[in-house]
């Protein structure tokens, strides 16, 4: 009886810990936290560190996300690594800047292209599961902030509510919550929690 009682006590102590989940705001990177680079009339992800410019107000957004109790996690496709257009050392410098200037909690990258993806390239959900495992994240309480159909589909694939940053290049996407800009994301999330 005594053993049973202590086991019950142990179970009660452990139960909240095992059920506890963190919540996160997942940020796509290019076009969301940093500006795209305009070249020949089109917009591209930065291919060298010198072109990596953070979006104005991004730090304020991450600060608010933290105040609301969310982790701030970057989930980003970087196929230019596979394509030989971006070197790993420059990607590392960009990531260092995200930690240093924005105080993000973590960044997860898929460096593959369509022809060599292993399930991490958005819209595939791989990186979300990696982050979930590392931080015990509940997807239902989390949010995804993105700017392309790949972010929308990836979020849908794992059941995370998505907020799309309004851009000229994503006007074809329908039935999705939109923020006029990155700063507006804060009030939209506040309204949802």
Binding residues vs Mg ion (CB under 5 A): 28, 30-31, 147
Give least dist CB 125 to Mg ion, A. 17
CA angle (120 as vertex; 41, 77 as ends), nearest 5: 20
Cβ-contact 98, 74 below 8 angstroms: yes
Give least dist CB 189 to Mg ion, A. 19
Cβ-contact 79, 73 below 8 angstroms: no
Using the minimum distance from each CB to Mg ion, give the nearer residue, 76 or 142.
Answer: 76
Using the minimum distance from each CB to Mg ion, give the nearer residue, 23 or 29.
Answer: 29
31: nearest Cα among 43, 47, 48: 43
Give least dist CB 170 to Mg ion, A. 9
Using the minimum distance from each CB to Mg ion, give the nearer residue, 138 or 143.
Answer: 143
Using the minimum distance from each CB to Mg ion, give the nearer residue, 31 or 46.
Answer: 31
The residue of the chain with the least Cβ separation from Mg ion equals: 31
Helices and strands (DSSP H and E) totals, the chain: 6, 8
């Amino acid at each position: 009886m005594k053993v049973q009682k202590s086991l019950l006590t142990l179970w009660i102590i452990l139960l909240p810990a095992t059920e506890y989940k963190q919540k996160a705001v997942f940020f796509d990177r290019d076009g969301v936290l940093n500006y795209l680079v305009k070249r020949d009339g089109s917009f591209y992800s930065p291919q060298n560190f010198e072109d990596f410019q953070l979006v104005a107000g991004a730090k304020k957004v991450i600060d608010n996300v933290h105040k609301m109790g969310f982790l701030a996690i970057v989930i980003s496709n970087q196929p230019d690594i596979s394509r030989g257009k971006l070197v790993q050392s420059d990607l590392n410098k960009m990531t260092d800047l995200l930690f240093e200037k924005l105080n993000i909690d973590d960044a997860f990258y898929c460096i593959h292209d369509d022809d060599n993806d292993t399930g991490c390239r958005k819209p595939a959900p791989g990186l979300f599961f990696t982050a979930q495992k590392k931080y015990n994240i509940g997807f239902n309480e989390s949010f995804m902030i993105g700017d392309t159909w790949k972010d929308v589909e990836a979020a849908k694939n794992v059941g995370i509510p998505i907020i799309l940053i309004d851009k000229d290049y994503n006007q074809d996407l329908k039935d999705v919550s939109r923020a006029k800009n990155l700063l507006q994301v804060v009030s939209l999330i506040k309204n949802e929690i």
